[in-house]
Amino acid sequence: MLLSVSDIIGQQRQFFATGKTKDVDFRIEQLKHLKSAIELHQSRIVAAVKADLNRPEFEAYFEIASIAEVNYAIKNLKSWVKPKKVPTSIDQFPASARIYPEPLGVVLIVGPWNYPFQLMISPLVGAIAAGNCAILKPSEIASHTSEVVADMISKTFDPAYVAAVEGGVEISKQLLAEKFDHIFFTGGTKIGKIVMEAAAKHLTPVTLELGGKSPCIVDSDIQIEYTAKRIAWGKFINAGQTCIAPDYLLVDKKIKPDLMSAIKTALHEFYGEDPQQSPDYSRIINQHHLKRLVEFIKDGEIVAGGKSNAEDRYISPTVIDKVSWDSPVMQDEIFGPILPVLEYDDFGEAIAQINARPKPLALYLFSKDKEKQQRVLRETSSGGLCINDTVMQVGVTTLPFGGVGDSGIGSYHGKASFDTFSHYKSVLQKSFWLDLKWRYAPYKGKLDLIKKAIG
């Protein structure tokens, strides 16, 4: 008999109340089970992502990268859970103070369709490591991968501990109507607002991994071949359906013609004369998104690509020049294989244009100039900054990954995942062997002492 959402949450609350998930050895054992399950299901995961997005096998293995997160958590968990002793001031003497990480309880993880396995499992690693129970809601849009996730989770964990719930909008509404101890959502800004609104009714904290228009500034002082290849790769893997893909280029006008030529060369090298025939090029997730993207191709002047095939859910890797800040393609996150190009005369002008818009999830700068690197670091705000490459920052386990402002709330990866799903409880412990009387009434003659202590 299928359990209702409320029943699953009820079972998980009962299981969490036993205290079993707080045991560090139990957590490590569950992480090892998760790792074994991923290894066991590798071929199914690759096949499912291929069916959903036509992802080439090489790129499909990015989904399996969550194993690195598991390994990192297993290796470091015993140090993460240790209480941290912190100093106390003289007015607390005699006392000790410590910070204890403790699990939140029952958490909800809602995943996206663009990396439908990895972006479900990576947050789960943090939830398990921190000692929580979890319910996963994979994206119904990537239906083949959703089925694999649900099957793998059901075969690996007791649903009273970790469960996966499949379904569409109605199931999502049922889940969001319930009270959780934390909600972790990856997806678009529009749905992120709905999640946050639902969470607010229960005062549930949220982590929102959103997106936005991630700029890529290209200075004149670069290695042009490497720059072109790194931009083209970061933009067009998974047919541009990557939340941290460079959304647009902002190029020093002196080198724009050379950069455009080098990007065209890189695309030919990657995908051949006809990318539609390339085994290494993905497809758009569905017809709805394809129609939205085809409209963007009408903007500006096509430098490369510009072809589409609705039946095959195909849009060629496309570079568009002569667009303005007001063009439709510049109004929302593209989330597809279309790269608009703008130019600048003055580096400060480029920074000002970026700062005039919502803070992006990622910001990219290609430049050898150390001063310009420092200017971008100091003068802009973004979820993350990557200098002289694209997308690769997401693979650094020791770097927290997350947005700021419109691009998200909170972060994860590595220790940051553990922190996200933990509450850090402050504990002050006093002794009975001495009791200083400075704080007790009568206060006569004690005010100067307090002023000195505060000052």
What distance in Å separates the CA atoms of residue 236 and residue 390, rounded to the nearest whole number? 11
- Give yes or no for a contact between 68 and 118, defined as CB atoms under 8 angstroms apart: no
The span from the first CA to the last CA of the chain, in angstroms, equals 66
| Active-site residue (options: 209, 216, 333, 386) | 209
Element (H, E) at 22: none
Q: How far, in Å, CA of 325 to CA of 109, rounded? A: 35
Q: By three-state DSSP, how is residue 450 classified? A: helix
The reply to whether 102 belongs to the active site is no
The catalytically annotated residue of 133, 216, 243, 386 is 243
Query: Rounded to an integer, what distance in angstroms lies between the CA atom of residue 291 and that of residue 185?
Result: 26
List Cβ neighbours of 403 (8 Å cut-off, separation of 6 or more). Answer: 208, 209, 210, 211, 212, 359, 360, 361, 383, 409
Cα separation, 83 vs 335, in Å, equals 42
Residue 74 structure tokens: 């297993």
Distance CA 73, CA 89 (A): 34
Handedness of CA 136, 137, 142, 143 (dihedral sign): positive
| DSSP assignment letter at 168 | S
Torsion over CA: 322, 324, 328, 329 (sign): positive
Q: How far apart are CA 6 and CA 180, in angstroms?
A: 11
Q: Where are the alpha helices (DSSP H) in 135-255?
A: 143-156, 169-177, 189-200, 224-236
Before 442, cis peptide (omega within 30)? yes
Rounded to 10 deg, the angle between the 169-177 and 5-17 helix axes is 40
**CA–CA separation, 104 vs 127, rounded Å?**
9
Does residue 133 carry a catalytic annotation? no
Q: Which residues are catalytic?
A: 209, 243
